[in-house]
Amino acid sequence: MEFWTFISLILSSISAFIFGAWCLYRGIILSNKVRRYEFEHRTSGGVLEFNSYDDSIRHNYQKAKAAWIGNGGILLSIVALIVFLLTLGHY
């Protein structure tokens, strides 16, 4: 493996790992906002209450977005770590 190929693989895997960790962090923050909204809008019977149908759709979208961003960050970080370790092991 050429030196510059090695360096480019190392740098790209490190940057992908950092981006994946950032996505995971943003997913956690968004998930906490969704949980706070759910906590503040529960009735005494434990039912989540919305002002309109559009608010419920928006809430479900935010919940799904938080899950996708967080899980995508985890997946990207794992793949970047595997590429990093395989590159180091190959060189």
Q: For 29-56, how does the pLDDT look when each residue is reduced to its tens digit (9 = 90+)?
A: 999 999 999 999 999 898 999 999 999 9
Q: What is the DSSP string of 14-73?
A: HHHHHHHHHHHHHHHHHHHHHHHHHHHTB-TTS-B--SSHHHHHHHHHHHHHHHHHHHHH
Instruction: Answer yes or no: is pLDDT of 90 > 90.
Output: no
* Prediction pTM value: 0.84
Beta bridge partners of 48: 42
Cβ-count burial 63-89 (b if 16+ within 10 Å, e if not)? beebeebbeebeebbeebeebbeebee
